[in-house]
């Protein structure tokens, strides 16, 4: 680790426990800081909180008492999910107490180069693609996917070495809390409007995203989506880094693009587009961004192709689960709204049997109708919204519409209804909370049912 002395004898408030807060507190304590942890929830029975207490770390829970800020704090490590409108955070800002997020802490101690990836959509898939690419036929060190993807960056930064790479997914929430954070390669997959409940204005959201490049210099690289005019203007006017664009729609002199169904870097052919196994134009864009990173890291084309031959997607995000008797099963449980399901359907040319449904939030699903007409041969609806989605399918003139209660039933019925060459797609267009704790649990139910079907077929 580097910059260890930066944290010695500092008084630090970790605001919000969760996974990142717990690991941030452990690291700060290890580095010799005096640590206080505060969480709005009651943590009296929380195992992580008890572990911190056993290590001599003060834990205050069940609210955000303002008198914490009367202590001589050097800075606050804030959970990204806590907005700046939080009264305690607002008071800290008014008192000029420095506020950072866990990725800043990880960057400060990391001996490894940082590749940071953000964007409204696609950042998780791109992060996993980059990790897979950089670990293909690697002779020394390892690439680690960390950050917003689930593994706290500071946990890996404690042990990673200069020969390793930290491939860090970073959200707008996290980027609002950076100071010296400086990736050698940054990626912005795209920018749309999102999280306005947190950011309040689109300008604040966009500014948070573009902050990924604010500390970059002319020796660094910024990879960006050239097909977005707004993003192109932003990076050209704000970034000091060397710009590396990617595009599905145009040829580029100094970037990654598609020409005649071939992915190109500058004028060099890298691989055919059909080597990207996960469907959808948005996933092709993710692949272009990941390949840009790979080429900047001097990867050979055959290693890039080998990596993509293994990459079947991020779990629950257009994940190719298995192929059973010529049917392809895709898990897109992360699709918790109709727009996400629209993007999923756009990725297929083969006939689709769509498994869809979930929590009823009084939303209309009529925007699915054009895609159902174009791509779907059968709809199997489940959960609280099963009747609404079945009615939408009938409006789209889908001849085969089945209503069931559970994902497992829907998956079995989909296989029975399918023919060789069909795609069986779980893309719910709804949240999972009517039957599951989260979308991951819902996706796991689908995966386990596919395994059962595969075993039944082999046994029969």
Q: What is the mean pLDDT of each run of 10 residues along the chain (460 residues)?
A: 91 94 94 96 95 96 96 94 93 96 94 96 93 97 93 93 97 92 97 76 91 98 97 96 97 96 96 93 94 98 96 88 96 90 90 96 93 96 97 97 98 97 97 94 98 87
**Nearest alpha carbon to residue 110 among 181, 13, 44:** 181
In angstroms, the CA 66 to CA 72 distance is 13
Asked if residue 245 lies in contact with residue 224, where contact means CB atoms within 8 angstroms, the answer is yes
Residue 301, CA distances (Å) to 265, 268, 291, 311, 365 in order: 10, 10, 9, 15, 43
Token output for 405: 């209660």
Please name the residue that has the structure tokens 């911190």. 52
Percent helix / strand / coil, the chain, rounded to 5: 40, 20, 40
**Amino acid 460: pLDDT:** 57
In angstroms, the CA 450 to CA 57 distance is 46
Please give the radius of gyration of the chain, using alpha carbons only, rounded to the nearest integer.
Answer: 24
**Amino acid 194: pLDDT:** 66
> In terms of pTM, does the model score above 0.75?
yes
Annotate 181-250 with DSSP letters as a single string. Answer: ---SEEEE-------HHHHSSHHHHHHHHHGGGTT--TTSEEEEETT-HHHHHHHHHH--SEEEEEESSS
**Amino acid 458: pLDDT:** 81
Token output for 443: 């996706």
In order of their start, the domains of the chain are 4-100 (3.40.50.720), 103-310 (3.40.1190.10), 319-459 (3.90.190.20)
Residue 288, CA distances (Å) to 130, 255, 348 in order: 10, 9, 19
Angle between helices 123-134 and 281-296 (to 10 degrees): 40
**Amino acid 282: pLDDT:** 87
């Amino acid at each position: 680790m580097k910059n260890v002395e930066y944290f010695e004898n500092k008084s630090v408030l970790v605001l919000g426990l969760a996974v990142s807060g717990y690991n941030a507190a452990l690291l700060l304590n290890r580095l010799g800081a005096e640590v206080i942890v505060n969480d709005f929830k009651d943590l009296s029975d929380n195992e992580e909180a008890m572990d911190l207490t056993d290590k001599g770390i003060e834990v205050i829970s069940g609210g955000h008492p303002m008198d914490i800020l009367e202590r001589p704090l050097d800075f606050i490590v804030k959970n990204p999910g806590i907005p700046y409108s939080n009264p305690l955070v607002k008071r800290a800002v008014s008192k000029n107490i420095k506020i950072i997020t866990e990725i800043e802490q990880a960057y400060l101690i990391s001996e490894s180069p940082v590749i940071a990836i953000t964007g409204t959509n696609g950042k998780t898939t791109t992060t996993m693609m980059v990790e897979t690419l950089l670990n293909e036929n690697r002779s020394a060190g390892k690439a680690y996917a960390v950050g917003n993807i689930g593994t706290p960056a500071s946990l890996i930064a404690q042990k990673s070495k200069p020969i390793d790479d930290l491939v860090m997914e970073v959200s707008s929430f996290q980027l609002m809390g950076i100071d010296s954070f400086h990736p050698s390669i940054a990626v912005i997959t795209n920018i749309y409007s999102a999280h306005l409940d947190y950011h309040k204005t689109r300008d604040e959201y966009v500014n948070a995203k573009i902050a990924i490049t604010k500390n970059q210099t002319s020796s660094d690289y910024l990879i960006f989506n050239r097909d977005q005019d707004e993003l192109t203007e932003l990076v050209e006017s704000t970034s000091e880094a060397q710009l590396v664009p990617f595009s599905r729609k145009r040829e580029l002199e100094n970037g990654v693009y598609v020409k005649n169904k071939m992915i190109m870097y500058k004028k060099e052919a890298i691989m055919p587009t059909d080597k990207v196994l996960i469907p959808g134009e948005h996933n092709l864009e993710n692949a272009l961004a990941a390949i840009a990173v790979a080429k900047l890291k001097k990867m050979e084309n055959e290693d890039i192709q080998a990596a993509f031959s293994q990459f079947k997607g991020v779990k629950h995000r257009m994940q190719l689960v298995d192929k059973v008797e010529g049917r392809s099963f895709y898990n897109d449980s992360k699709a918790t709204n109709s727009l996400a399901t629209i993007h999923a359907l756009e990725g297929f040319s083969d006939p689709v049997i769509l498994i869809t449904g979930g929590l009823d939030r009084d939303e209309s699903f009529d925007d699915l109708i054009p895609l159902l007409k174009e791509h779907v041969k059968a709809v199997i609806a489940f959960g609280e919204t099963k009747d609404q989605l079945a009615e939408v399918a009938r409006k789209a003139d889908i001849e085969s519409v089945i209503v069931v209660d559970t994902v497992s039933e829907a998956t079995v019925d989909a296989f029975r209804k399918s023919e060789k060459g069909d795609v069986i797609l779980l893309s719910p267009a709804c949240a999972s909370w009517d039957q599951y704790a989260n979308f991951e649990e819902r996706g796991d139910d689908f995966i386990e049912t596919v395994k059962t079907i595969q075993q039944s077929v082999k046994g029969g």
